[in-house]
Structure 1
C-alpha cells in the first residue's frame, strides 16, 4: 500500500462546512471505488488549502483512468465549494500493511475474504492470497464497488464482536459461519457477480469455529451441496475446505487448529 497527500486549494472565499462536505464527497467516492482504503482520513487546513492524507492499494491508484462516475461527479462539484481539484503528492510506501496483487493476468480465481484487522481490499487472489484493487475489476453495481465495501464493513463488524466476546458474540458468529444468514447471502451474491464480470471463479470465505471433535470437523461436508470439499493440503495455511460447485472456501474449526 502507498501513502498520498491530497491538497485541495481554495480559489475563492468558502466556509469550513461547505468545503468539508465537498471534500468528503470526493473521499467517499474514492473509498467506494477501492482507490483509497480505510475509513478515517486525517485532514487539516493550512495556508489556504485543505490537506488530507490517504492510503492507496497502488502507487497509481488515484490516476484518472480508474475514476468511477461517482468520483468524476464529486471532483466536478468541488468548484461549487470554491475548491480546485486536488494536487496529489506521493509520500511513500506504507510499511505496516499488505502488499497488493500486481499480476492479475496470472490470477485464476479470487477469494472474498476479510477480518476486523484488515482495511485492505477484501478481494484476494487465489494463488498468492494478495489483495486485489477493486477498481481493477468491473464495477459490481451502479458504477462502483460500494456493495463490496459495505459487505466488508458488516463482516468486519461481526468479526470484531465475536473476537471481543462480550456483546452479541453468538449472533455475530452465526452471521459469519452460517449459510442461511443475510451476511452470507450478500457475500454469495457478490462472488457470483464478480465471477460473472471477471470470468474467473470467486470464492466466499465461510468462517468456522466450534464443532464436536477434530475428526468430525475434518470430515464435514459442504454446508450447501453436501458434497466432500476437504482439500488435500491447506491453502495459505488458512483454508482446509473448498467447494467448486458452491464457490465456498473455509477453514478447519479454529477450536481444532494447531
Structure 2
C-alpha cells in the first residue's frame, strides 16, 4: 500500500467542490483504486487536496479507471473541478503488500475485522489483489459489501457481548447467508478471471480429534492438507472451492 496525496483545482464551480471531489473518491473506492474510507479533504492556497491510500503506485492512472470513475471525473470537470494529479508520499509499511502476480494459480476470498485491503487474495503469495484488475466495478462493489458484512460479524464474535453465536455462524457455516453470498461472488470472480477462486470458512472448535479429522462441510470429502498453506489454511477442497483453518483455539 502507498500513501498518496491527490490534487484538485477549481474555478467558477457551480456545485460544492468538496461534494464533487467526494464523488470521485467514492468511485475510486468502489473500483478498488483507493483503500479505506478515511479520505480527508483539505483546502490549500491553489486548490484542494485529499489524502488516500492506494494498493499500488500506479493505481490512480487512467488505465485503471472504470466507467463510473470516468463519469465522476467528467461531472467534476463540467462543474469547474479538475483532478490535476497525485504525488506518492511513500509506502505504508503497516499495510499489506499488494500481489504483483497477474495470473496466480488460484485466488481466495478472505478478510478479517482488522483488514482494510482488498478481500481478494493471490493464493500463491497470499497477498491482496487490487479489485480494479477485475475491470468490473459492480463486482468490486459487491465484494466490498461482502467484506464489510464479514468484518462486522468477525468483530461481533471476537469482541461482542451480543449476537456472538449468530455472527460466528455467518462466517463459519457454508450454509449461512453470508457464505452463500460469498460463494456466489467467488463463482463470478472465477468466471471473470478464469482463475480458481476459493471461499474462506472461519473455524473455531475445541475437540482436537474432531478438528483434525473433519471433512469438507459441502461434499463430505477429504480436504485436510499435508501441511498448512501460508501457516493459516489447513483444509482445502478443490471441488467445492472451500478453504479453512484448523480451529484457532487449538493453535
TM-score range, shorter chain: over 0.9
Structure 1: distance between partners of 2:59 and 2:135:
15
Match of 2:72 in 1: 74
Match of 1:65 in 2: 63
Structural mapping, 1:47-58, within 5 Å:
47-58=45-56
Greater displacement, 184-193 / 46-55: 46-55
Match of 2:91 in 1: 93
- SS at structure 2 position matched to 1:26: helix
Deviations 1:2-55 (A, max 9, x none): 11111111112556xx22221111111111111000111121112242210111
Structural mapping, 1:156-175, within 5 Å:
156-175=151-170
User: Aligned to 2:120, which of 123, 143, 156?
Assistant: 123
Deviations 1:72-131 (A, max 9, x none): 0000011244211242112111121111111223x1010110011110111111111011
- SS at structure 2 position matched to 1:210: coil
User: Aligned to 1:22, which of 20, 23, 29?
Assistant: 20
Structure 1: gaps spanning 5 or more residues: none
Structure 2: distance between partners of 1:240 and 1:71:
40
Kept in 1: contact 2:101–2:122 (CA 8 A): no
Q: Runs of 4+ in structure 1 displaced over 2 angstroms?
A: 79-82
Match of 2:178 in 1: 183
Structure 1: distance between partners of 2:13 and 2:184:
47
> TM-score if structure 1 supplies the norm length?
0.93
Deviations 1:201-255 (A, max 9, x none): 00010001124x1011111111111111111110111000001111000001112
Structure 1: distance between partners of 2:215 and 2:82:
57
| RMSD, aligned α-carbons | 1.5
Greater displacement, 195-204 / 6-15: 6-15
Structural mapping, 1:103-142, within 5 Å:
103-105=101-103, 107-139=104-136, 142=138
Kept in 1: contact 2:134–2:140 (CA 8 A): no
Structure 1: distance between partners of 2:234 and 2:154:
20
> Do residues 227 (structure 1) and 224 (structure 2) align?
no
Kept in 1: contact 2:13–2:81 (CA 8 A): no
Deviations 1:113-171 (A, max 9, x none): 001111011111111101111111242x64x5111111111111111111113232111
> TM-score if structure 2 supplies the norm length?
0.95
- SS at structure 2 position matched to 1:222: coil
